[in-house]
Amino acid sequence: MAKFAKKKDGDLPAVSTASLPDIVFMLLFFFMTVTTMKDSSLLVQNTLPNASEVKKLEKKDRVIYIYVGKPTREYQSVYGTEPKIQLNDKFADVNEVGTYILAERAKKPQELQNVLTTALKVDKDANMGLISDIKQKLRQVNALKVNYTTYEGDAFNNLQ
């Protein structure tokens, strides 16, 4: 009886890959929403300290970033291991902070110029001397709103 034709063995049905793009797109959208674009590549090590009483920095267009930390390994042979300041895409001296802030402020629209915040992204191993110098410069150009950018966490973890 040919009615019960014997199936050829080894002929597994192919797994449908039609939904694979959907899955990958889902991943893609997840990453697009949770991440932010890098606006400048980091030349310094930037492990931020922890703090618990944090506020979110809203409205990215109102923020000026200053990075401080030891130069990353590839720059250490040139710039040494002392903490340095990074403004935009290059290393800078403390004395350049004031002009940098003024230049950045001038780039922003008029109505935002009075509400700018300076975000200090400082590596946890930096020492206070450099930070106080920066703060002094910020006061001189009247950029008084600062944000010490941190990770959200227990502040006592900083002590180790």
Q: Which residues lie near another protein (CB under 8 A)?
A: 17-18, 20-21, 24-25, 27-28, 31-32, 34-38, 48-58, 60, 117, 119, 122-129, 131-132, 135-136, 138-140, 142-152, 155-156, 158-159
CB of 90 to another protein, least distance (A): 19
What's the half-sphere exposure (Cβ side, CA atoms, 13 Å) at 5? Answer: 3
DSSP 142: T
Minimum distance, C-beta of residue 153 to another protein, in the bound complex (Å)? 10
CB atoms within 10 A of CB 126: 21
The Cα–Cα gap between 67 and 75 comes to 15
Comparing CB distances to another protein, the nearer of 103 and 154 is 154
| 48 in Cβ contact with 148 (< 8 Å) | no
**Token reading at 7:** 């199936």
Closest approach, Cβ 113 to another protein, in A, equals 17
Nearer to another protein, 54 or 92 (CB): 54
Rounded to the nearest whole angstrom, what is the least distance from the CB of residue 146 to another protein in the complex?
A: 5
Which structure tokens are listed for 138?
Answer: 């910020």
